[in-house]
Amino acid sequence: MNRKGFAGRLARLWIVPVALVLWELATRVAAQPYFPAPSSIVVRIQELWFSGPLTRVLLTDAAIESFGPSLGRLFAGWVLAGLAGVLLGVAIGRSAKLADYLDPILQFGRAVPPPLLVPIFFALFQIGTPTQLAIIVFGVIWPVLLNTADGCRTVDRQYLETARVFGFSRPDVLRRVVLPAAMPKIFAGLRLSLSLALILMVVSELVGSTSGIGYGLLTAQQNFLFVDVWAYIVLLGVLGFLLNASFLLLESRILAWHQRARRTI
Amino acid sequence: MLELVDLTHRYGTYHAIDRINLTVKQGEVVCVVGPSGCGKSTLLRSIAGLIKPTGGRVLLDGRPVESTPDNLAVVFQDYSRSLYPWLSALANVSLPLRRRGLDRKARDEAAMAALTEVGLGTAAAKFPWEMSGGMQQRVSIARALAYRPKLLLMDEPFGSVDAQTREELEDLVLRVCAHHGMTILLITHDVDESVYVGDRVVVLSKAPGTVTGDLTVDLPGPRDQIRTRELDAFVKLRADVGRMVRGMTNNNHHEVEHR
């Protein structure tokens, strides 16, 4: 990194308006209905979702009806997958025997593309939120699980020996040594999962759903509303960016020790 | 208080230490010195109960060491990996005190007292990565002190700090441990340090490590970095130990073998 800090980051943002202007020019020259100009997309986004009353931070009914369920599924799926992934990952990371038994199953499960399991989830759960949650959880659990297992397996030997010398109880070793030591890797997994959760949230709403961003996108597409389709695409991009940025902020708070320790070594 | 009887350990086919016999009395500061690869760390890890030796016995207060005894603390060489980077100095020192059944307040007070004793009373809230190597090693010494062990094992505790810090830490350990009447077994490859710090210097041979020398350091206390090191007796002892470490025979060698 040659330029640090807020000023440096701000200075590099010039690329954004340049890209926008180029995009605008290109779409105007091409004049294709499939590729609306960004200016019209922005207007449509505003009409669709941000022309509501001030008391609701400008959000329209449509925005609330579509974002609410989507974000709810996204977060519920991510949190469930995160909890299950960390629990299983710790067990696998701390027990070589369990890891040996489960490894083939995990490698198999990880390789299966989650959208392919949609029919199975439909058969298992009712159509609607349970199925959508299952798709998200199944799709995003892997990075958390595998990263947690790896983090717990590779705890520095000296950390563990120190704990043994001072006679830490088993729960203490887990809670106060293994988990904090694995935390950087767990967070890396959680971040990856969050971006996957957004994708799978849309995928899950494209099938058998009657609400949400994915459903909106599908309806717009089926009705040849290209500006609307693009509005949804931009919305998803912005959402992904915001999720990632908030997660990084959270991570930098919780893992301050790790980031600063690495900087000084 | 510590007795090693024919302590032997092999890693697979590698013979690390061979029939080490050693008795350490209550309140003694014993330095174990030897060339690199003489099984010093294996010896320490066997005493601490971190590995199970393949032969012989370790007795602490007459009882065989099983798992890790609760009246023993270790200061490791690599302080950067011995302190937990996610905990402040205070939390690092107070965490082991949970084994003592103290409540949180009592733990923090004991930890604070130990940190003050090593001169870090004002740095209790700092994290390891905010401290110099010497400060970090002081924290790990404070952690051992607060734990109130009867036996303190030190594995090349001053190996990774600069010469000046090293001298400070040597004096700190001598002063504080004398104050608490702690028994110390310090492992080092530094001949000079072993004579300066120890009441007794035990010399190990190359692997498989075995005791080839055992000298009483008869120097006046309290030790002083300048005055002690210029004493004729110190210079003589240092030369004797140095010769033994290099495997040159002298009288002491035979003396030990006839014990």
B146-181 per-position pLDDT tens digit: 998 999 999 988 887 888 888 888 998 888 888 888
Q: Is the pLDDT of residue A52 over 90?
A: no
Interchain pair A168, B48: CB under 8 A: no
End-to-end CA distance of chain B: 19
Please tell me what DSSP assigns to residue A175: I
Question: How far, rounded to the nearest angstrom, does the alpha carbon of residue A136 sit from its chain's CA centroid?
Answer: 10
Q: What angle do CA A232, A233, A234 make, to 5 degrees?
A: 90
Chain A: nearest CA to B151, how far in angstroms? Answer: 12
- Interface contacts (A, B; CB < 8 Å): 67
Q: pLDDT at position A257, please? A: 82
Q: Which residue has the tokens 């000023």?
A: A7
Q: pLDDT at position B252, please? A: 47
CB–CB of A23/A38 below 8 Å?
A: yes
Amino acid at A112: V
Chain A: nearest CA to B20, how far in angstroms? Answer: 22
Segment holding B21, helix H or strand E? strand B14-24
Q: Could you report the average pLDDT of every consecutive run of 10 residues in chain B (259 residues)? A: 88 85 91 84 90 90 85 87 92 92 92 92 91 91 91 88 87 86 90 89 84 82 83 85 74 45
Give the whole-angstrom CA distance, residue A146 versus residue A148: 5
Say which of B96, B128, B129 has its CB closest to residue A166.
B96
CB–CB of B39/B205 below 8 Å?
A: no
Q: Count Cβ atoms below 10 Å from residue B233 Cβ, excluding itself.
A: 13
| Lookup: tokens for B47 | 């005493």
pLDDT digits (tens, 9 = 90+) for A253-264: 888 888 877 765
Say which of A161, A172, A261 has its CB closest to residue B98.
A172
Q: Is B253 helix (H, G, I), strand (E, B) or coil?
A: helix
Residue A72 pLDDT class (50, 70, 90 cuts): very high
Q: Does residue B80 belong to the interface with chain A, where contact is any CB pair within 8 Å?
A: yes
Torsion of CA B162, B164, B170, B176, to 10 degrees: -120
Q: What angle do CA B247, B249, B253 make, to 5 degrees?
A: 100
Give the whole-angstrom CA distance, residue B67 versus residue B254: 35
Residue A207 pLDDT class (50, 70, 90 cuts): confident
Give the whole-angstrom CA distance, residue B214 versus residue B252: 7
Hey, where are the domains in chain A? Answer: 65-226+239-264
* For B44, nearest residue in chain A (alpha carbons): A165
Give the whole-angstrom CA distance, residue B18 versus residue B146: 34
Q: Does residue B73 belong to the interface with chain A, where contact is any CB pair within 8 Å?
A: yes
Q: Is the pLDDT of residue A227 over 60?
A: yes
Q: A167: which chain B residues are within 8 Å (Cβ-Cβ)?
A: 68, 70, 96, 99
As a whole number, mean pLDDT of residues A125-143 equals 89
Q: pLDDT at position B95, please? A: 94
Specify the pTM: 0.84
* For A156, nearest residue in chain B (alpha carbons): B81
CA distances from A28 to A230, B47, B177 (A): 15, 79, 82
* Highest CATH level, class, for A65-226+239-264: mainly alpha
Q: pLDDT at position B255, please? A: 45
CB–CB of B29/B241 below 8 Å?
A: no
Interchain pair A261, B128: CB under 8 A: yes
Q: Does residue A170 belong to the interface with chain B, where contact is any CB pair within 8 Å?
A: no
| Lookup: tokens for A166 | 């001072």
Q: Is the pLDDT of residue A245 over 50?
A: yes
CB–CB of A135/A115 below 8 Å?
A: yes
Q: pLDDT at position A263, please? A: 66
Biggest distance spanned by C-alpha atoms of chain B: 55
Give the whole-angstrom CA distance, residue B58 versus residue B165: 33
Q: pLDDT at position B93, please? A: 95
Q: Does residue B160 belong to the interface with chain A, where contact is any CB pair within 8 Å?
A: no
Please tell me what DSSP assigns to residue B258: T
Q: pLDDT at position B253, please? A: 45
CB–CB of B244/B201 below 8 Å?
A: no
Q: pLDDT at position A192, please? A: 95
Question: How far, rounded to the nearest angstrom, does the alpha carbon of residue B37 sit from its chain's CA centroid?
Answer: 17
Chain A: nearest CA to B244, how far in angstroms? Answer: 31
CB–CB of B11/B122 below 8 Å?
A: no
Q: Does residue A257 belong to the interface with chain B, where contact is any CB pair within 8 Å?
A: yes
Domains for chain B: give ranges and CATH numbers.
2-71+150-257 (3.40.50.300), 84-148 (no CATH)
DSSP-H helix ranges across B157-231? 163-180, 191-197, 227-230
Least confident of A17-31, A181-195, B59-73: B59-73
